[in-house]
């Protein structure tokens, strides 16, 4: 089986890592659109266009399954992706995360994400659909994606930015939903600052959902593609465990590719 995974940048590697933990004998093709990160500040039309381009690139490898490892693209482009590529199973990261939160039976949930994800209300609507009695607070946290892309996931700067966004929720929520696949890289710092909260990210619930489908036996193979070499690319790739044989990391320019 061949699986394509794409994200606006490096954060989707957390999803890839979770998928690799539950799979065997799968060829993974990961695309991080580091030249155009972040998606969360773009218009819906732009996000859809970017997502379709990323999916078209990954379909060059005859993928059987596509994972949208980007909350913004999941919220804005999943429908368009399924319409454009009806022959491919398309999975997004939002629904599994919501289902995981609801299993915890919380009473007050905080959702953080990019501006585009928060404005879409996709998490809030699905949470309230599952439990109309929930109190759901939302907050756009646009500084967190650049923070992660710069490799700043712990220490004074990371803690200061997280307090800026989250301190007002102390005592107001019992569960925090990380509505962006970059945010799991900040999860340990969040838990350090707010140990009283349950924290749910998008990566693990999706991996559990796909685990039976991805267990084929044998070694996983991985190819990584990035549309720009960001300053911390190599460091981030090394920091995130990728269980399988890494067959290459390639940098390309969209200008050189006709989608």
Distant-in-sequence, close-in-space partners of 125: CB < 8 Å, separation ≥ 6: none
CA distance 131 to 141: 25
CA distance 161 to 212: 38
The label of the residue with tokens 């995360």 reads 97
Q: Of the residues 144, 145, 166, 180, which is catalytic?
A: 180
Q: Of the residues 31, 58, 63, 70, which is catalytic?
A: 70
* Calculated CA dihedral for residues 181, 151, 112, 44, nearest 10 degrees: -60
The label of the residue with tokens 């199973």 reads 89
Could you confirm whether 54 is annotated as catalytic? no
Distant-in-sequence, close-in-space partners of 171: CB < 8 Å, separation ≥ 6: none
Could you confirm whether 180 is annotated as catalytic? yes
Active site residues: 70, 180
């Amino acid at each position: 089986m061949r699986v394509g995974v794409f994200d606006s940048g490096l954060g989707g590697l957390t999803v890839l890592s979770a998928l690799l933990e539950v799979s065997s004998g799968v060829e993974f093709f990961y695309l991080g659109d580091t030249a155009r990160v972040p998606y969360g500040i773009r218009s819906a039309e732009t996000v859809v266009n970017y997502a379709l381009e990323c999916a078209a690139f990954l379909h060059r490898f005859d993928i059987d399954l596509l994972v949208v490892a980007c909350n913004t693209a999941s919220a804005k482009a999943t429908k368009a992706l399924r319409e454009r590529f009806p022959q491919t199973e398309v999975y997004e990261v939002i629904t599994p995360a919501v289902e995981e939160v609801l299993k915890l039976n919380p009473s007050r949930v905080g959702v953080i994400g990019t501006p585009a994800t928060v404005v879409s209300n996709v998490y809030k609507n699905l949470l309230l659909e599952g439990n109309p009695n929930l109190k759901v607070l939302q907050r756009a946290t646009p500084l967190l994606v650049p923070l992660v892309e710069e490799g700043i996931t712990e220490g004074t700067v990371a803690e200061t930015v997280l307090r800026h966004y989250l301190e007002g929720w102390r005592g107001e929520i019992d569960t925090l939903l990380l509505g962006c696949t970059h945010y799991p890289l900040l999860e340990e710092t969040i838990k350090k600052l707010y140990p009283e909260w349950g924290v749910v990210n998008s990566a693990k619930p999706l991996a559990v959902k796909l685990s039976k489908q991805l267990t084929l036996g044998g070694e996983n193979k991985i190819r990584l593609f990035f549309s720009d070499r960001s300053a911390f690319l190599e460091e981030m790739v090394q920091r995130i465990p990728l269980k399988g044989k890494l067959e290459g990391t390639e940098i390309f320019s969209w200008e050189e590719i006709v989608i």
